[in-house]
Amino acid sequence: MAKLPVEQLKPGMKLGRPLLNSSGMVLMAEGTELSEARISKIENMGVDSVFIDGPTRPARPKEELLASLDRRFAKVEGNPNMALIKKAVKEHIEALYE
């Protein structure tokens, strides 16, 4: 499930979570298929972003992200605390592509 800015919504997408007003009332249910009219209504409500149903995948290939991670941590390679952080981030990146 991805959280997208309203400007990126397209007809045919489905809400991954219900759209609620400030008092918790459901304005659009989870699973609602978006049309041009519904997207306009969401924009008119002043909503910044919504959750969209579907897989969340980064735009860059996994190998590119892992190479970038290695470069970012190269200067602190001997630091055990930084190694733990790098390991956690690496596991997170790998999980995004499962």
CATH of the domain at 44: 3.90.105.10
In a domain, 89, yes or no: yes
Q: What is the pLDDT of residue 21?
A: 87
| pLDDT, greater one: 1 or 12 | 12
CA–CA separation, 55 and 98 (whole Å) = 10
Please tell me whether residues 25 and 7 are part of one structural domain: yes
CA–CA separation, 83 and 52 (whole Å) = 34
**Residue 10's domain spans which residues?**
2-52
In a domain, 57, yes or no: no
In a domain, 72, yes or no: yes
Q: How many distinct structural domains can be found in the chain?
A: 2
Tell me: the pLDDT tens digits for 12-70?
Answer: 999 999 999 889 999 999 999 999 999 999 999 989 999 999 876 677 899 999 999 99
Q: What is the pLDDT of residue 56?
A: 66
Q: What is the pLDDT of residue 58?
A: 73
